[in-house]
C-alpha cells in the first residue's frame, strides 16, 4: 500500500476540546430550561447537552467549563460550542469571558496495510508514551 493510500484512509473519529464561559453555572436550573439536557448529579457532575448538527455531546460543569466530545473535526467542535454559547445567552446568561476551544485529544483511524505487533510497538516507543 502506498503512503498516499495510507494517508487517504486516515479518518478522524472524535475530537475532544474544552472551553469555558468564565462564570459558575446553576446546572439544576439549566437542566430545566434547556430542551434535551441531561443532568443527574448522582451519576455525573456535569450537564450533558447534545447537538445534532454537528453531532456532539457537550459536558457543561458548574465551574463554567465545557468539554465538547464526539465531533469529527475541529470545525465541528467550534460549531457545537457556538450552539452551547447561543443557548446559554438565549437564557439570559451573559457570556463575556468565553475561552477559545482548546483541543485536548483527537482519535483517528487508518488502514496501514500491514499487521502490527502492538506489544513490540509499545515497548519500542517506551511504555510511558503509550
| Residue 112: CATH number of its domain | 3.30.310.10
Specify burial of residue 105 (Cβ count, 10 A radius: 0-12, 13-18, 19+).
exposed
Tally: H helices and E strands in the chain: 4, 5
Distance (Å, rounded) from C-alpha 39 to C-alpha 46? 7
Q: What per-residue confidence (pLDDT) applies to 110?
A: 87
From its phi and psi, is residue 126 left (phi > 0), alpha (psi between -120 and 50) or beta?
left
Domain membership of residue 31 as a residue range: 3-129
What is this structure's pTM? 0.84
Distance (Å, rounded) from C-alpha 125 to C-alpha 102? 26
Domain count, the chain: 1
The answer to whether the CB of 22 falls within 8 A of the CB of 89 is no
- Mean pLDDT score of the chain, rounded to an integer? 92
pLDDT tens column, 10-61: 899 999 999 999 999 999 999 999 999 999 999 999 999 999 999 999 999 9
Residue with grid cell 468564565, as numbered in its chain: 22
How much helix, strand and coil, in percent to the nearest 5, is found in the chain? Answer: 30, 30, 40
Amino acid at each position: 500500500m502506498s503512503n498516499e493510500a495510507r494517508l487517504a484512509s486516515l479518518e478522524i473519529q472524535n475530537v475532544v476540546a474544552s472551553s469555558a464561559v468564565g462564570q459558575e453555572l446553576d446546572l439544576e436550573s439549566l437542566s430545566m430550561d434547556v430542551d434535551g439536557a441531561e443532568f443527574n448529579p448522582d451519576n455525573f457532575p456535569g450537564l450533558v447537552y447534545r447537538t445534532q448538527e454537528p453531532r456532539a455531546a457537550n459536558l457543561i460543569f458548574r465551574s463554567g467549563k465545557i468539554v465538547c466530545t464526539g465531533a469529527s473535526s475541529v470545525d465541528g467542535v467550534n460549531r457545537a460550542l457556538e450552539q452551547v454559547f447561543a443557548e446559554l445567552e438565549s437564557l439570559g446568561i451573559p457570556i463575556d469571558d468565553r475561552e477559545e476551544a482548546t483541543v485536548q485529544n483527537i482519535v483517528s483511524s487508518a488502514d496501514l496495510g500491514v499487521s502490527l505487533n502492538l506489544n513490540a510497538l509499545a515497548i519500542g516507543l517506551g511504555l510511558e508514551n503509550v
